[in-house]
Structure 1
Amino acid sequence: MIGNGGTLDGAVIAVAGAAGPAGRATLLRLAEAGATVVASDADPARLVEAVDAARYAHGGATVTGDTVDLLDLAATREWAEKTEKEFGRIDGLVHLVGGWRGAPSFAEADPKDWDFLEKLLIRTVQHTSIAFHDGLLRSGGRGRYALISQVGAHKPVANNAAYNAGKAAAEAWTLAMADSFRKAGGEEGPQAAAAILVIKALVHDAMRAERPNAKFAGFTDVKDLADAIAGLWDRPAEEVNGQRLWLTPKP
């Protein structure tokens, strides 16, 4: 396996929802750190672009892409098993699958928004965490599951009821995974970690170019998010397991 001599040299990390701006930044950062990166997204064309960008930005990096239906548990398990079999290990799953729907007011909330968001924000977390759980435990202390959450999970607002509830549920599921890692570790402590990175919103260069006068207060740049994700492997599993890492001020 060819690495770049970085801090993650030899690690194998899967990224779900890899074709958006945050995904692209994460692929680049992980490849730069020397990881083998296995990306997935529901949009094949955008996925190819994201994978190619990361691969060509870092010569020698192994970056691959798979179109996976994360709403299908069997397909998600197959992706996890294929990844571990092909590369010999699996050291991480970064969950970047997202989506948003809001309402003009609480009374105007459409329950159909929950049906849409439950699939993207919760079902994909359930399936990826279940599928990758055992493989992360087999990685010798290096396994990490990273969920990107949002401040509204902790301070819900009237027009975002469905979105905030979905993020809160995804956090609870991830913390249950962290408890599983804790229990599996016994007296030696967890040998893998599930952590939550909390943001207000994300910003990237194209957004700044479109709105040069906007301040984007409290927003997290996708490059800073990628740095925080990569940093999960710089700390012991016990230190990050079950933790919420705030990338924006707490409400």
Structure 2
Amino acid sequence: MPDNRRLVLVAGATSTSGLAAARALSGAGVRAVAVGRDPEKLGRLAEAVPGVRTEVCDLTDAAAVQSLAERVRETDGRIDGLFHLVGGWRGGGGLAGQSDEDYRILEASFTALRHVTRTFDDDLRASEAGRLAIVSSTAVARPLAGGANYAAVKAASEAWTRAVAHGFAKAARDAGEPLRAAAVIFRVKALDGLEDTVADAFVKLWDADAASINDTVVTLPQD
């Protein structure tokens, strides 16, 4: 179980899922930094979950993410966990309705994932128990024409996360050390109503040995 020595960054924290994650981490005694683009929404989150620190950052901007990392390391230290919740939905209209505009909006979540995982990779590897999790969709396994853009972005995000998992394993193997960091994919059909379930599943990642969960896909809710 996480404790107050650990530090977790919640990327895309201004959503309902971000609020659930902040509450779950705070309830477990974990230090959390909630990151988003909207200062007002972050302010409301801070009021709802006392003790959670907030940072305004456009995670699609690589330079901004690097500055964020420097601020977090200076103020809080290196992170032990990263919960990526940047997302959204745009779809419908069959294959012909999959516009470039919708794709670019959805693609921002993947761009943000690339930036934050690359920037904080050393932190997670150095941690005694580094954990990364993303929220994906069951649409990856069965994509539909009306959600092709969405499924494609989620599939790319899953592939990237699995590559991060491989990097964790390779670094540990090359160093002759036990694996301490793990990257996990949570798949849901829809997040509505499952925000607390997903948040609790993230917190529980620290209950498991890294080697047993690294590079795994967990469908929620579980039977």
Q: CA deviation at 1:24?
A: 0.4
Of residues 125, 132, 136, the one that matches 1:149 is 136
2:3 is matched with 8
Stretches of structure 2 lacking an aligned partner (at least 5 in a row): none
What percentage of aligned pairs have identical amino acids? 38
Question: CA deviation digits over 1:180-204, x for unaligned, max 9?
Answer: 0000001434221111111111224
1:209 is matched with none
Supply the distance in 1 between the matched residues of 2:25 and 2:95 (Cα, whole angstroms): 40
> Equivalent residue of 2:218, what SS?
strand
Of residues 108, 114, 128, the one that matches 2:97 is 108
Equivalent pairs counted in the alignment come to 221
Question: CA deviation digits over 1:86-142, x for unaligned, max 9?
Answer: 2233101100011111022123321221122112x21011001001100111112x1
Q: CA deviation at 1:178?
A: 0.5
> Equivalent residue of 1:201, what SS?
coil
Q: CA deviation at 1:151?
A: 0.6
Task: Give the partner amino acid of 1:136.
Answer: L
Task: Give the partner amino acid of 2:32.
Answer: V
TM-score, normalised by the number of residues in structure 1 = 0.84
Structure 2 residue 126 is the aligned partner of structure 1 residue 138: yes
Structure 2 residue 167 is the aligned partner of structure 1 residue 167: no
> Equivalent residue of 1:49, what SS?
helix
Aligned Cα root-mean-square deviation (Å): 1.6
Query: Structure 1 residue runs of 4+, over 4 Å off?
Result: none
C-alpha contact (below 8 Å) 1:27/1:51 kept by paired residues: no
Supply the distance in 2 between the matched residues of 1:88 and 1:64 (Cα, whole angstroms): 13
The equivalences for 1:203-214 within 5 A come to: 203-204=192-193
TM-score, normalised by the number of residues in structure 2 = 0.94
1:176 is matched with 163
Supply the distance in 2 between the matched residues of 1:71 and 1:54 (Cα, whole angstroms): 26
1:212 is matched with none
C-alpha contact (below 8 Å) 2:91/2:97 kept by paired residues: no
Call closer, same or farther: CA 1:239–1:81 in 2, change over 3 Å.
farther
C-alpha contact (below 8 Å) 2:130/2:180 kept by paired residues: yes
Task: Give the partner amino acid of 1:88.
Answer: G
Stretches of structure 1 lacking an aligned partner (at least 5 in a row): 1-5, 56-61, 205-220
Supply the distance in 1 between the matched residues of 2:207 and 2:71 (Cα, whole angstroms): 26
2:19 is matched with 24
The structure whose Rg is larger is 1
> Equivalent residue of 1:233, what SS?
helix
